[in-house]
DNA sequence: AAGTCTACCTGAGGGC
DNA sequence: TGCCCTCAGGTAGACT
């Protein structure tokens, strides 16, 4: 489900509700996610949530008693409700907060995870990540040299968090379409100019998707329960057989790196 | 080393 | 209606 724009939407949605809140209860209903929720998570009892940040597709809750690292996997969702909330199927983890609020982690497929780190402890998951796509550090000057010797399809590179973070299958497809680049192209044969175009489009697509509250394909909702509106702006993702919005030729679906890939053979070279 | 494939898990939707 | 198959927003780890 969630790529950078969805995770950023979640961060922005939950932050005003939980920043400054005190943790009044920690409840684990299903410990077995991608990694088990650590037993020590109960130590958060009594802690204050000081900050809510996002890095790549990770959420980091900084509390007075440690940092909570959350990844939503494919189907994770967070909602903030009042403490008389109704449980839903696949609610795995609940933080009860001051002012009768609760934070609920729900994840049908359980590919997400929740881990706990000390405030001075490095978080291994964050150490090998590429720069944030919306920062100046993500540029053609950064990316083009990194593609040297890489023969993988450029689309696989875009989805590899060691090259660019935050783009998953939807936004990799959309960015390549916007840049007019064939997703199958070996990464190392993109010119500097093409990489410049691609970098610019990745930034534009992600920024626009954040403005729209992310993409709701089926089950993604923002923490207040409303959908993201970027789905109606998708130009190629999921559009197999539909006319290309630029040239009218049929959008094609292929498989690259085991992931569905959509593109216009006419517009993307 | 780099690239490819598999596994993890549930649910929705299509074909029959 | 129901069974079986395929597919789905991510990523680590095991292969070649």
Residue A1's pLDDT is what?
Answer: 63
Nucleotides of B under 7 A from a protein CB: 2-13
Residue A244 has pLDDT above 90, yes or no: yes
Least confident of A36-40, A142-146, A221-225: A221-225
**Closest Cα to residue A105, out of A157, A41, A47, A55?**
A41
Contact A48, A66 (CB under 8 A): no
CA A174 from centroid of its chain's CA atoms: 15
Residue A248 has pLDDT above 70, yes or no: yes
Residue A221's pLDDT is what?
Answer: 78
* Confidence at A220, pLDDT banded by 50, 70, 90: confident
Residue A85 has pLDDT above 90, yes or no: yes
A126: enclosing H helix or E strand: helix A124-127
Go through the domains of chain A in sequence order and give each one's CATH number: 4-117 (3.20.190.10), 140-263 (1.10.8.50)
Average pLDDT over residues A155-169: 97
Distance C4 C1' – A266 CA (angstroms): 37
Residue A120's pLDDT is what?
Answer: 95
Joined together, the tokens standing for residue A188 give: 């190392």
CA A203 from centroid of its chain's CA atoms: 14
Q: Which residues touch strand C (CB under 7 A)?
A: A 1-3, 6, 34, 56-57, 71, 73-74, 109, 111, 125, 159, 161, 168-170, 214-220, 228, 258-260
Q: What is the pLDDT of residues A6-57, one digit of tens each?
A: 999 999 999 999 999 999 999 999 999 999 999 999 999 999 999 999 999 9
* Confidence at A165, pLDDT banded by 50, 70, 90: very high
Residue A158 has pLDDT above 80, yes or no: yes
Cβ atoms within 10 A of the Cβ of A105, count? 24
Choose, from A2, A5, A133, A223, the residue flagged as catalytic. Answer: A2
A52: enclosing H helix or E strand: strand A49-55
């Amino acid at each position: 489900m969630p790529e950078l724009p969805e995770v950023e939407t979640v961060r922005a949605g939950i932050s005003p509700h939980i920043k400054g809140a005190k943790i009044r209860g920690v409840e684990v209903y299903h410990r077995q996610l991608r990694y088990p929720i650590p037993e020590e998570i109960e130590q958060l009892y009594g802690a204050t949530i000081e900050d809510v940040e996002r890095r790549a597709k990770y959420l980091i809750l900084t509390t007075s008693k440690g940092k909570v690292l959350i990844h939503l996997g494919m189907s994770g969702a967070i909602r903030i409700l009042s403490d008389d909330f109704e449980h839903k199927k696949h609610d795995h983890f609940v933080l009860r907060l001051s002012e009768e609020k609760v934070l609920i982690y729900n994840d049908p497929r359980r590919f997400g995870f929740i881990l706990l780190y000390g405030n001075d402890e490095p978080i291994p998951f964050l150490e090998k990540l590429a720069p944030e796509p919306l920062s100046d550090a993500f540029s053609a000057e950064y990316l083009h040299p990194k593609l040297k010797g890489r023969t993988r399809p450029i689309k696989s590179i875009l989805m590899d968090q060691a090259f660019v973070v935050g783009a998953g299958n939807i936004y990799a497809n959309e960015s390549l379409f916007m840049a007019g680049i064939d997703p199958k192209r070996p990464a190392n044969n993109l010119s500097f100019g093409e990489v410049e175009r691609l970098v610019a489009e990745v930034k534009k697509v992600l920024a626009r998707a954040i403005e729209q509250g992310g993409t709701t394909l089926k089950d993604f909702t923002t923490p207040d329960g409303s959908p993201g509106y970027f789905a109606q702006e998708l130009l190629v993702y999921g559009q197999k057989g539909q006319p290309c919005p630029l040239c009218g030729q049929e959008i094609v679906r292929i498989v690259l790196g085991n992931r569905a890939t959509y593109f216009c053979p006419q517009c993307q070279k």
